[in-house]
């Protein structure tokens, strides 16, 4: 199948900040496409550091998840440990730090599964999905406002995790499916 490629990204005619909060900067872009069509787009300016999500598996084949408050949905969601990459950190270093902060374990082995874009039409942000194994107990103080609930889930029972009413975050669902693909392929 032959796919038509777009020639070049549109020309940015103007870029104006239309809203700013402690966490977000919203920009309005005036764009001119290669066919001379002009449009206004809005996007959230990305911080550029990226983030990590870690899929940890214990020595007894249990996934480690966290249940934490999510302001966007105003409820508690079950998902994999995650967080921003701090300045100067590699994704692997950030993953190990977040594991220690959120579930009380470090990892001897981290395997990159995929780097995802998050809402690329509106947001320039990436998340590195990493598989963590050979875990060892270690704890760092995190920045969460309350203690996270750590939930163990049998790896072999991953399909029922998809059916959980509070396991809805697309990044966690993608991470679980990427892990399953990795485990089925036998890559180590």
Predicted TM-score of the model (pTM): 0.87
**If pLDDT is split at 50, 70 and 90, which confidence band does 169 have?**
very high
pLDDT at 88 > cutoff 60: yes
- Point out which residues pair with 11 in neighbouring strands: 32
Distance CA 31, CA 11 (A): 6
**If pLDDT is split at 50, 70 and 90, which confidence band does 188 have?**
low
Distance spanning both ends of the chain, measured CA to CA:
33
Q: Note the pLDDT tens digit of each residue in 144-160.
A: 888 899 999 999 999 99
Which is more confidently placed, 94 or 144? 94
Is residue 144 classed as helix, strand or coil in its secondary structure? coil
CATH class of 51-185: alpha beta
Between CA 139 and CA 51, with CA 128 as vertex, the angle to 5 degrees is 65
């Amino acid at each position: 199948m032959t796919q038509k490629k777009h020639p070049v990204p549109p020309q940015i005619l103007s870029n104006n900040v239309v809203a700013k909060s402690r966490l977000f900067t919203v920009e309005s872009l005036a764009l001119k496409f290669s066919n001379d069509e002009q449009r206004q787009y809005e996007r959230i300016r990305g911080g550029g550091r990226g983030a990590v999500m870690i899929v940890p598996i214990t020595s007894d084949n249990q996934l480690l998840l966290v249940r934490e408050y999510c302001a966007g949905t105003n409820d508690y969601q079950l998902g994999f440990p995650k967080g921003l990459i701090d300045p100067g950190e590699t994704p692997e270093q950030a993953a190990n730090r977040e594991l220690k902060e959120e579930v009380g374990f470090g990892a001897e082995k981290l395997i990159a599964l995929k780097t995802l874009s998050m809402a690329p039409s509106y947001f320039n942000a990436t998340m590195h999905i990493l598989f963590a194994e050979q875990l060892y107990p270690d704890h760092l103080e995190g920045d969460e406002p309350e203690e996270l609930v750590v939930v163990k889930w049998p790896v072999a029972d991953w399909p029922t995790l998809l059916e959980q009413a509070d396991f809805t975050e697309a990044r966690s669902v993608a991470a679980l499916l990427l892990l399953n693909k990795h485990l089925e392929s036998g890559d180590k």
